[in-house]
Amino acid sequence: MSDPNGLIQPGRTAPGFAVPATPDGALLGPEQFRGRPVVLAFYPADWSPVCGDQMSLYQSAAPVFAQYRAVVLGISVDGIWSHRAFAESRGIEFPLLADFEPKGEVARSYGAYMSNGEAARALVVLDPTGTVTWSYLSPPDVNPGADGIFDALDRLAADRKVMAG
């Protein structure tokens, strides 16, 4: 469930989903990564300059995400073949999920779907139990970077240390 004003808010249970991740039809969603933080990076379209830069940034930050044991999942309404070509051209190794049919269903469930038929540029961090811990809606033409994600992952790591201590 999303906030009536838009993007899903912290404290809510993340809606479950499984959508195509590969051309052979393999389905993937955050539930498959329970026990680890998950970063959902919604973006408008493969091949746009801002989206390419944003997804490439997350790929270059893969070692940092690994330190948190965090999984990054890119999500747009593009089809799986577009994702595959886009990932190969940009050297992206994390999964790009096709919210293609029904178009935008996952983005809608997170409050990250725009009236033009694209996913919004939105970031959602899930804790290891699947609860939203941070969300951010960026202007469509602005790369939100990774600082907000890393701040959220820092808070999660600190919370786990407090609970373990």
Using CA atoms, how far residue 136 sits from 57, 81, 162, in Å, is 17, 28, 25
Residue from 21, 40, 51, 153 carrying the catalytic annotation: 51
Residue 56: its H or E element: helix 49-60
Q: Any idea which residue has 């270059």 for tokens?
A: 60
Among residues 139, 157, 125, which one has the least CA distance to residue 9? 125
How far is it, in rounded angstroms, from Cα 147 to Cα 67?
Answer: 15
Beta carbons of 109 and 75 less than 8 angstroms apart: no
81 is catalytic: no
Cα three-residue angle 121-126-128, rounded to 5 degrees: 155
- Residues ≥6 apart with Cβ < 8 Å to 16: 29, 30, 31, 130
Catalytic residues: 51
